[in-house]
Amino acid sequence: MLNIERALVICAHPDDEVLGLGGTIKRMTAAGIEVNVVMFANGNEGYPTLAEKDSIVETRRNEREAVQKILGISHFEAYDYGDYAIPANEVTYKICMKAIRAYRPQAVFTHYWREYNTHKAVASIATDAFWQAGWTCSLELGDPWKPEALYYFEVIELLHQISHIVDISDTLEAKLEAMKAYASQCSVVPGALRQLEGKAFMRGAQAGVNYGEAFLKNTDRPEIIL
Amino acid sequence: MLNIERALVICAHPDDEVLGLGGTIKRMTAAGIEVNVVMFANGNEGYPTLAEKDSIVETRRNEREAVQKILGISHFEAYDYGDYAIPANEVTYKICMKAIRAYRPQAVFTHYWREYNTHKAVASIATDAFWQAGWTCSLELGDPWKPEALYYFEVIELLHQISHIVDISDTLEAKLEAMKAYASQCSVVPGALRQLEGKAFMRGAQAGVNYGEAFLKNTDRPEIIL
Amino acid sequence: MLNIERALVICAHPDDEVLGLGGTIKRMTAAGIEVNVVMFANGNEGYPTLAEKDSIVETRRNEREAVQKILGISHFEAYDYGDYAIPANEVTYKICMKAIRAYRPQAVFTHYWREYNTHKAVASIATDAFWQAGWTCSLELGDPWKPEALYYFEVIELLHQISHIVDISDTLEAKLEAMKAYASQCSVVPGALRQLEGKAFMRGAQAGVNYGEAFLKNTDRPEIIL
Amino acid sequence: MLNIERALVICAHPDDEVLGLGGTIKRMTAAGIEVNVVMFANGNEGYPTLAEKDSIVETRRNEREAVQKILGISHFEAYDYGDYAIPANEVTYKICMKAIRAYRPQAVFTHYWREYNTHKAVASIATDAFWQAGWTCSLELGDPWKPEALYYFEVIELLHQISHIVDISDTLEAKLEAMKAYASQCSVVPGALRQLEGKAFMRGAQAGVNYGEAFLKNTDRPEIIL
Amino acid sequence: MLNIERALVICAHPDDEVLGLGGTIKRMTAAGIEVNVVMFANGNEGYPTLAEKDSIVETRRNEREAVQKILGISHFEAYDYGDYAIPANEVTYKICMKAIRAYRPQAVFTHYWREYNTHKAVASIATDAFWQAGWTCSLELGDPWKPEALYYFEVIELLHQISHIVDISDTLEAKLEAMKAYASQCSVVPGALRQLEGKAFMRGAQAGVNYGEAFLKNTDRPEIIL
Amino acid sequence: MLNIERALVICAHPDDEVLGLGGTIKRMTAAGIEVNVVMFANGNEGYPTLAEKDSIVETRRNEREAVQKILGISHFEAYDYGDYAIPANEVTYKICMKAIRAYRPQAVFTHYWREYNTHKAVASIATDAFWQAGWTCSLELGDPWKPEALYYFEVIELLHQISHIVDISDTLEAKLEAMKAYASQCSVVPGALRQLEGKAFMRGAQAGVNYGEAFLKNTDRPEIIL
């Protein structure tokens, strides 16, 4: 998974990329892998006080830019959908297709498909685009590109099966730093930081290391052994 | 389940609340529990003759108001979506969030998630809202409120698992009266009344009582034992 | 399955009807069964070169008309949705309801519900319409009609369970001819023709015949034995 | 399902055949279909008082013989396994294979595979034997015979999917009489008779008739359409 | 769950009771609830060096007795099956039935049914016995007793759904002490102690407390609300 | 998958290894990988005529030895269980543990767990042994050994998900030759050879090659990325 040149993360909300695979992103960028992120929502609902309602989108944009630096993300392609308003439709599907063809990743990372509704929408379009981007069609969206693998990460729900655990012992600190950079969100979900650490602890323990992040490799596109 | 102060039912069509849990609603209101209902569709497709097409929405509004009295429902928050036109989107999601925060129920009841398409849409948004309403976010929709439990009821499909059966022996009559109040619908689905009674009979028999209604408790939000 | 008067195929894209059940359609029409097709997408994304972008919809219309003749399809009710833009909403649902009531099929064939996103949308509305078309409602869409059976066919994903295999040894040629008539698509999915043949070979071998097509009968509406 | 010459029921305990499909057996035998039953357990644990412990096996044998007459069962091949002691092993598997080859049924009926442990064991061996009995192997167990269909009936758990409902309005009485002939069991499971009636009522209501029994057709062996 | 008089744990191997619910057992016994344990295996395979092969059963018996004291377990009914030799048969099923009738627990705790093979065997017999113990049958095994609830705990596999989390912040120490008392096992599964802590950390974080243990309530026997 | 030193196949009957992965075995042995096979059944039920009943076990032993040469299998550890008599118990579990520790494979191949009963038994013990063989326990069975991966192959049922397809275009001939060497079996399952070819054709077509064999990688033991 880490033996690639370029990775693409397709996620819903500002902080999903950190909660899901912040430690893995940091490991990848530290190893010289180019990591790009497509993010659909602008964070408009995550205001922990009414007073912050009008400024929350800007706040989260600034937080996101800080996270980009902390994790070393190359392009952060962020869209302006409301937090509860990410559709699975032609527009968002084409965003995924285009990003896969433009960034040409070997590995794509996205939400797990048994999840919260907007996450499910992203999981659905990213999964299909992962596969259809390699077809000779819709050339306006770029030249066909076949990523080698698609991995689901875990944000809210635990994955029901896991196929990979990445050792993030050395990058947990960056993951925590990134989550703290999303300062506005740390009070939205009570105990979010502790949950982040609890999951990292447990996934690490399962792998015999200090901290870990878990993934499930999609099998819609089998690995071909020539 | 019945040891609470306030309950909220989130359903799709006029009559789903009766078919699904009419007997339980009546037991709750008889016991002094405040029961509120959010309903999305206006019943526009349920005209059993072409002549009734233009009046069916008004007919069903009147029927609904009769049912409200029969079952003792406090607020009946009815929306004007077409029967086949209930989307799972930002607007309907916010309706659920807002209702949960406004009515502050201990228990929420909604459609089962393996069901007919519009029912599935309601199940999806109600399930997520049940959980996200407790977050410190979207404060414009009201102060955070955490219901204790979410129950799925059965309307068309039998539940594949059931966690609770409520004895409705004393309120079956009210349930039948309410269903008959939805007079326009009794001819739409052939044998609807008999199916209602058959299900009540069987669920009761499973519980060793005369008549029952079955529910599945959602486990997305585990009960915390302090 | 083949002992009926009229069949209706509800599918997403131009070529799904061939890939899924081209051989079975040909067997039905050869036996004097009326076969009608509802198709939602116009094929706008299937251009294998940028130069063909503006003409692809017309190309596929022409291809589709050739296929109609090859397979002997009576009405080919084709809509103009973009390939990635087939929604599961009131409009498409009513198209299904109306078609079932207009064509009065004994058997309906549609996409499998664990599939590529737009196929899933079609599977969902066709499955519900198959059942609701028999209700005494929405009479503007025609008189109630109850098809006897609904079958899922396989296009991309293999069906996880199969209940029927149709011997298409005598009509594989027509199926291949029809697929070749969709000439523009044969280069879009690499190896599409070979996959078609591979699947027909394997399904036939499972049935002890030369070539076959597999189906899963839906059980949402049990067969009633009087 | 009822348009056959011979049926075979493979079940675990004395009364499973009545609870599961007593009404359907009676309809078949009344229509001249030969129905045979293979039953594994002797009923040794169903003593409702300690005093009956030593006589219960004989009691249930007598009850079973009365049921055989009531329902018109031809051969009742009853084995002597303890109620909690039915294994899925070579011996019981061969009993199934042999019975299928000896009775040459067009339809086999057995327990649902998501069930109580001994029922699950019977479901497992009957399902595999249904299919392997048609192979050219184990000829000592009789000449190969391919039943056309395998149906699961429901005893304890409701079936999660149903493919067929048989109208037993005219034979419910025989079903009840047969259950009452298993007099020793009516007090073992409290409310057993009422559950029987509740299920028959509900399944009938689903089919638009007075009383019904539900089945799920196994799809491990697809119907071949030549 | 903790508002009961008596609990029964049915598990496979010496240490499963600690890994699965050591903290919860301690909370129960500290609150005056009687906790009994039925354990099938003698620990014969858990020798971390060949030299310990002949003494391991005795070692684990001693360890188990120490754990009994640490956690305050009343009766520790331990059987002598080999670690890989726990069958799901008449004998073990009757052990479960008898224990439920003898200890008369309100709550039963057992292995999760999607698990390692011998754990699965225990899950299967305990689940069925939980339900059948309430029938008026097999009176030699004691008078009928209906426990109110059955909970699955997690040892190796994470539960796929959880319905309850118990706060074990105050009893984690006892859980760890008990695990360390199973000194022979701490080297068998590398990192077992750390996995124990990781899981407790994560489950606690999910509940907003320091440490937790997670459970899934069985729904085979719905709660009846009279 | 093919970049390893040693592989171990654990299967039920003589010919399962050929049907499931004969082409892959040949590719491995041709590439210098050591392939060993553990096989439980002696083939005693596969006599296509009564006259062959007493000689069938010997016949299949001879056939198996021919296959060993054709495919280049190093050790063929064959047990003497009857075809319908393979238990999942302590003895067979230890056979798996011991074989894994003795042959020290990087990859283990076994039956799919949703399958015919004896195949399911093998799948169950092989899956657990694959994981427990790496523990520091049961040292009498050899020193702990952790294979890197476990793959399920398909014999009767198609895999519901596939993670890998191996190109067997160059070794299909050897697979067919091996199947023909199991001459006694070619008449047992009608059309077995054609089914073999049909599956190979389809799996190859899915991978864009002439012939293929499909596998599902087990995820009980996630790949750890250090």
Contact state of D195 with B202 under an 8 Å Cβ cutoff: yes
The alpha-carbon gap from F34 to the nearest alpha carbon of chain D, in Å, equals 33
The two tokens of residue A163 are 């196929």
Residue D189 has pLDDT above 80, yes or no: no
The predicted complex's ipTM stands at 0.95
Residue E199 has pLDDT above 90, yes or no: yes
pTM: 0.96
Q: Which of A221, A218, A4, A1 is nearest to A112 (CA)?
A: A218
Residue C147 has pLDDT above 90, yes or no: yes
> What pLDDT sits at residue B120?
95
E206 interfacial to chain A (CB closer than 8 Å) = yes
Strand-pair category, C164-167 with E164-167: unpaired
Contact D163, D206 (CB under 8 A): no
Cβ-based contacts of F160 with chain C (< 8 Å): 160
F204 interfacial to chain C (CB closer than 8 Å) = yes
Q: Would B23 be classed as within a structural domain?
A: yes
F1, exposed or middle or buried, with CB in 10 Å at 0-12, 13-18, 19+?
Answer: buried
Residue A5 has pLDDT above 90, yes or no: yes
* Option in A48, A85, A117 nearest B137 (CB): A48
> What pLDDT sits at residue A195?
92
Contact state of F202 with C199 under an 8 Å Cβ cutoff: yes
Among B175-184, D113-122, F184-193, the minimum mean pLDDT is found in F184-193
Cα separations in angstroms, F186 against A121, F147, F178, F191, F202 = 49, 34, 11, 8, 21
The two tokens of residue D10 are 């493979």
**pLDDT digit string (tens) for A16-35?**
999 999 999 999 999 999 99
- F156 or F197, higher pLDDT: F197
Q: Is E43 left (phi over 0), alpha (psi -120 to 50) or beta?
A: left
Q: Which of C10, C9, C12 is nearest to C116 (CA)?
A: C12
**Number of continuous H segments (helices) and E segments (strands) in chain C:** 6, 8
> What pLDDT sits at residue C144?
97
- D156 or A128, higher pLDDT: A128
Q: What CATH code is carried by the domain that includes residue D87?
A: 3.40.50.10320
Cβ-based contacts of B60 with chain C (< 8 Å): none
Residue B102 has pLDDT above 80, yes or no: yes
pLDDT (mean) for C94-114: 96
**pLDDT digit string (tens) for A56-67?**
999 999 999 999
| Helix (H) or strand (E) run with residue B36 in it | strand B34-41
pLDDT (mean) for D82-95: 98
For D27, nearest residue in chain C (alpha carbons): C226
Cβ-based contacts of F205 with chain C (< 8 Å): 191, 194-195, 197-199
Residue F103 has pLDDT above 80, yes or no: yes
pLDDT, averaged across chain A:
95
* Option in F88, F124, F137 nearest E45 (CB): F137
**pLDDT digit string (tens) for A192-205?**
899 999 999 999 99
pLDDT (mean) for D119-144: 96
The alpha-carbon gap from F143 to the nearest alpha carbon of chain E, in Å, equals 10
The two tokens of residue F138 are 């049961």
Type of residue found at F157: E
Q: Would B25 be classed as within a structural domain?
A: yes
> What pLDDT sits at residue C121?
96
**pLDDT digit string (tens) for B142-168?**
999 999 999 999 998 899 999 999 999
**pLDDT digit string (tens) for B50-90?**
999 999 999 999 999 999 999 999 999 999 999 999 999 99
For D159, nearest residue in chain C (alpha carbons): C219
Using a pLDDT cut of 90, give the percent of chain E over it: 89
C144 interfacial to chain B (CB closer than 8 Å) = no
> What pLDDT sits at residue F188?
83
Residue pairs between chains A and F whose CB atoms are closer than 8 Å:
60
The two tokens of residue C25 are 């359609």
**pLDDT digit string (tens) for F143-173?**
999 999 999 999 988 999 999 999 999 999 9
Tell whether the torsion through CA atoms of B183, B184, B190 and B196 is positive or negative: negative
The domain in which residue D68 lies consists of 6-217
Contact A107, A148 (CB under 8 A): yes
Question: Which band of pLDDT confidence, cut at 50, 70 and 90, is reported for residue D207?
Answer: very high
Using a pLDDT cut of 70, give the percent of chain E over it: 100
> What pLDDT sits at residue E127?
96
List the single best residue of A84, A113, A182, A187 to mutate versus B (max B Cβ within 10 A). Answer: A84
Q: Would E40 be classed as within a structural domain?
A: yes
**pLDDT digit string (tens) for B4-35?**
999 999 999 999 999 999 999 999 999 999 99
Q: What is the count of structural domains for chain E?
A: 1
pLDDT (mean) for C162-186: 96
The two tokens of residue C199 are 């699947």
* Option in C165, C219, C225 nearest D222 (CB): C165
> What pLDDT sits at residue E59?
97
pLDDT (mean) for D182-203: 90
pLDDT (mean) for F178-198: 90
Strand-pair category, F6-11 with D164-167: unpaired
Residue A190 has pLDDT above 80, yes or no: no
F159 interfacial to chain C (CB closer than 8 Å) = no
Question: Which band of pLDDT confidence, cut at 50, 70 and 90, is reported for residue B196?
Answer: very high
Using a pLDDT cut of 90, give the percent of chain D over it: 89
C-alpha span between B19 and F80 (Å, rounded): 59
**pLDDT digit string (tens) for D24-55?**
999 999 999 999 999 999 999 999 899 999 99
Touching subunits of D (3+ CB pairs, under 8 Å) are B, C, E, F
The alpha-carbon gap from E100 to the nearest alpha carbon of chain D, in Å, equals 16
Question: Which band of pLDDT confidence, cut at 50, 70 and 90, is reported for residue E167?
Answer: very high
Q: Is B32 left (phi over 0), alpha (psi -120 to 50) or beta?
A: left
Question: Which band of pLDDT confidence, cut at 50, 70 and 90, is reported for residue B1?
Answer: confident
Work out the number of other CB atoms within 10 angstroms of the CB of residue B32: 8
> What pLDDT sits at residue E39?
98
| Helix (H) or strand (E) run with residue F216 in it | strand F212-217
The alpha-carbon gap from E192 to the nearest alpha carbon of chain D, in Å, equals 32
> What pLDDT sits at residue C49?
93
D182 interfacial to chain E (CB closer than 8 Å) = no
Q: Would A224 be classed as within a structural domain?
A: no
> What pLDDT sits at residue B187?
81
Could you write out the DSSP letters of every residue in A150-186? EEEE-SSSPPSS-SEEEE-TTTHHHHHHHHHHSGGGT
pLDDT, averaged across chain D:
95
Q: Would B102 be classed as within a structural domain?
A: yes
Provide the residue count of chain C.
Answer: 226
C-alpha span between B28 and F136 (Å, rounded): 58
Residue A80 has pLDDT above 80, yes or no: yes
C-alpha span between D200 and F37 (Å, rounded): 52
List the single best residue of D155, D158, D189 to mutate versus B (max B Cβ within 10 A). Answer: D158
| Helix (H) or strand (E) run with residue E92 in it | helix E90-103
**pLDDT digit string (tens) for E90-135?**
999 999 999 999 999 999 999 998 888 999 999 999 999 999 999 9
> What pLDDT sits at residue D187?
81
Question: Which band of pLDDT confidence, cut at 50, 70 and 90, is reported for residue C220?
Answer: confident
* Option in E167, E207, E225 nearest B2 (CB): E225
Residue pairs between chains A and B whose CB atoms are closer than 8 Å:
36
Residue C189 has pLDDT above 80, yes or no: no
In chain E, positions 85-124, which contact chain D (CB-CB < 8 Å)? 88-90, 93-94, 124
Cα separations in angstroms, E83 against D9, D89, E47, E123, F144 = 38, 22, 11, 15, 17
For F193, nearest residue in chain C (alpha carbons): C205
In the three-class reduction of DSSP (H, G, I as helix; E, B as strand; rest coil), residue F169 is classed as coil
Q: Would F174 be classed as within a structural domain?
A: yes
Cα separations in angstroms, B163 against B214, E219, F8 = 8, 5, 45
Q: Would D146 be classed as within a structural domain?
A: yes
| Helix (H) or strand (E) run with residue D213 in it | strand D212-217
Q: Would B222 be classed as within a structural domain?
A: no
For F158, nearest residue in chain D (alpha carbons): D220
- Chains E+A touching (3+ CB pairs under 8 Å): yes
The two tokens of residue C104 are 């009065």
